[in-house]
Structure 1
Amino acid sequence: MNSKILMISTGGTLASSHGGNGLSPRLGGSEILKKISGLTAGFEVDEEELFSLDSSNVQPEEWTQLARRIYIRRKAYDGIVVIHGTDTLAYTASALSFALPGIEIPVVLTGSQVPIENPIADATENCRAALYMAASRCPGVYVAFNRKIIVGTRASKVKTRSFDAFESINYPYAARIDSGGLVINPELAERSQRGCGLRDCFSRAVFLLKLFPGISPLVFRQMEEAGCQGVYVEGFGIGGVPFVRRDLTEAIGNAVRRGMVVAVGSQCLYEGSDFSVYETGRRVVEQGAVETGNMTSEAAITKLMWALGQYEDREQVKKVMVQNLAGELGVKVNWND
């Protein structure tokens, strides 16, 4: 029996062509499906166009729209493929992971670095990987790119031009494609989920702050005055926040005491943070900041937006931030090698 797959198109480079102001999405879902018709043998594929945007313009409102469409359609399909621009694809993948807890089918986001109309495009191969992962019966949210399948909360765009633009950060691939076909991570194959929920509210009153030497502590007061309810701070190294001359740790503590949720992580892409190692890290945790461990920046900020959208109680937000909800926290055995 052929797997029944829904392809939801949202725009992005894959659907783009040149216009007077540069590349912009112009192909609809039906046109994309025609261009990948050679890949759909063995699948029953339907398509829907939800919106057509460069992913730089995809924001929490679109995350909510997309989550609701997936939630409504999920029971009629074995899997869902989402065509999405690459620039914010990792943010959307994380957002959907939190908005659709317990999703029972594979939801696979993909896109391309080159428009599908270009003969050298990576679009066709990425769509192939997405279709096969969508038919895998491995529930969850994933990113398919360059023959790799990445857990949604672990994906990050690490290159701007290359076809291997996405990487799985601090986590093994969910699957990969090689001469043996689609090879699923054995741990993933054992997963099963039932009873999907829809929790699609996201707060926009957040800020992502990357520290640099000499940054003023006044920035936290300015964020509060702007109505910010939560901030994700990318500290130095394994977990460092300055307290000499310009004491950011005290400024963070004052912000926390006035009701702001402050999450802290590392600017380093790999291996995560541990704010217990150095005094500069311990001081900020003692002030009430919440550590994000080895979460990606995309997962940390979207999780903070999601948690603030779900709970009014700031202590509940902090509690949720340190729970592993969708594979965003914790270290697994490296299956990539």
Structure 2
Amino acid sequence: MSTFKRIWPQLFPAQAPLTASNLPPQTGKVVIITGSTSGIGLELARILYHAGATVYIAARNQSKAETVIQTLTTDNPHSTGRLVFLPLDLSDLRTIKPFVESFLSAESRLDILFNNAAVASRPPSQRTAQGLEPKLGTNCAAPYLLTQLLSPILVSTAKTSPPNTIRVIWSSSMVVDFLAPDHGVPPSVIETPNPDPNVNYAVSKAGNWFLASRAAKQLGPHGVVSITQNPGNLNTPIYDEAARWMVWLSTPFFYKPVDGASTLLWAGFSSDVTVEDGGRYGIPFGRWHPDPRPDLLEAIRDVEEGGLGYARGLEEWCERVTGEFR
């Protein structure tokens, strides 16, 4: 019954408080969106470009990114924003530092990093370029490295910006509430992934929450907000590799990608989100999770705080597997 109560407001969300129609102008803001050539990321890029922001399309497929940029600029020729493609493949840690170096050579500020991209249904055998389990490698280790390399510019931007406006937004999923194992990311799962790719996906999405909480501890004292959110149960390309029966069962509860973008707008721009909220978990389409799983909260807390320290353990694993790519 407790699981049902947790997922109900995520399956049937309240009305979005922040959408494309009431988002204030974002002229002068610089944002990075991973996975922005389709799905939620594409809709978010469309909205923010329309609002006048400089939007970095971080993606691995250049031709697809160029098509997206052409489409968005044609659809809104009078926008004062900019769309910029930079190549980034989160399944290959070698691409992350060059991406960051190219970004830093072009920009002197970064207002929001949206760690939006993810993979879902890839089997454990389909490893990343560095031999990591695909979900933990792509969904956790890669955005961890990206966030660490961009931390200095986030901190420097926060020094000259209004309070609470510089943010890192991590994307989780409703599966955390019903499919993640006890304590989310126990050390045994990191070292020996589950043979079920769906469980591994849930582990990685719990991991996104864990890493958001760790980034909040690191960056919060410097004025940078770090939170995670479940954008919603959405019909996006992340289901392309999923079993058809799973997609069929989910279809009655699907929302559009633009609806999920509203969750990210709330997480990224709502004045109700502050540094003090660092590490919290948002749900569709822009509110705080009313009842997070107690075992996950225990896993997030450090040992000296009365918890298990599993979030710190995941952070240390990410640091170990990404260290040579700094």
With structure 1 as the length reference, what TM-score do the two structures score?
A: 0.34
Higher strand share: 1
Higher relative contact order (CA 8 A, sep 6+): 2
Between Structure 1 and Structure 2, whose CA radius of gyration is higher?
1
